[in-house]
Amino acid sequence: MKEIVRKVITIHVNGKTYDIPVGTGRYEMPESETLSHTLRDRLGLTGLKIGCDQGACGCCTVIMDGKAVTSCMTLTMDCDGKTITTIEGLADRATGELDGLQQAFLDNCGYQCGFCTPGIIMTAKAFLEEHENPTEEEVREALAGNYCRCGTHYTAVESVMAYVQKRKEERQ
């Protein structure tokens, strides 16, 4: 048996802590690896999608320390100590109850093929954490980096606005 000194990146994802060894060996993470691949291939969190791998479609969006980031444009090496939420982390972990935003997308059919939907939900989620009562126009601006070919441009935004309205009523 050998003992070695190795670099490790620690990330906290959906309430769990992961230590990921870095290096050039078969089971180690190369320094060039992006967060999207780490989450999908090493942690099995395939809810985020890689649509373009060019930072232009938003399908790979996750929330890192409260901000929406395109995980395909983020090196995992830059995420040491970060707290990350993926689409899998939105629903209640114990009961499976959907987050209100997810429920709004279901109720309003704010999805079609669904490939871009996790990214849209995560982008909107991060935005709504910082904006209590946004206008539809502000929501559209927030989603400007999310590409959808099916044309959910109306129903996805209606879903977000329905959630905004419901949240407002609940908090009053």
Residue 154 as a binder of other proteins (CB under 8 A): the answer is: yes
Side chain identity at 18, as an amino acid letter? Y
Calpha distance 58→71 (Å, rounded)? 9
Residue 87 as a binder of other proteins (CB under 8 A): the answer is: yes
Residue 135 as a binder of other proteins (CB under 8 A): the answer is: no
Q: What is the DSSP letter of 153?
A: T
Calpha distance 119→57 (Å, rounded)? 9
**Segment near other proteins (CB under 8 A); pick from 2-10, 74-82, 143-151, 164-172:** 143-151
Residue 65 as a binder of other proteins (CB under 8 A): the answer is: no
Residues pairing with 85 in the sheet: 63
Secondary structure class of 161 (helix, strand, coil): helix
Residue 137 as a binder of other proteins (CB under 8 A): the answer is: yes
**Selected binder of other proteins within 11, 34, 105, 163 (CB under 8 A):** 105
Residue 51 as a binder of other proteins (CB under 8 A): the answer is: yes
Residue 31 as a binder of other proteins (CB under 8 A): the answer is: no
**Selected binder of other proteins within 12, 22, 23, 56 (CB under 8 A):** 56
Q: Which helix (H) or strand (E) holds 10?
A: strand 7-13
Tell me the closest approach of the beta carbon of residue 155 to other proteins, in angstroms. 6
Closer residue to other proteins (CB): 5 or 77: 77
Q: 88: which residues sit within 8 A by CB, 6+ positions away?
A: 14, 45, 47
Residue 18 as a binder of other proteins (CB under 8 A): the answer is: no
Residue 60 as a binder of other proteins (CB under 8 A): the answer is: no
Residue 13 and residue 89 in contact, taking contact as beta carbons nearer than 8 Å = yes
For every residue of 46-67, DSSP letters joined together read TTS--S-SSSSS-TTEEEETTE
Calpha distance 146→69 (Å, rounded)? 12
| Interacting residues toward other proteins by CB under 8 A | 26, 30, 32, 40, 45-54, 56-57, 59, 86-88, 90-91, 98, 102-103, 105-106, 108-109, 111-118, 121, 137, 140-141, 143-157
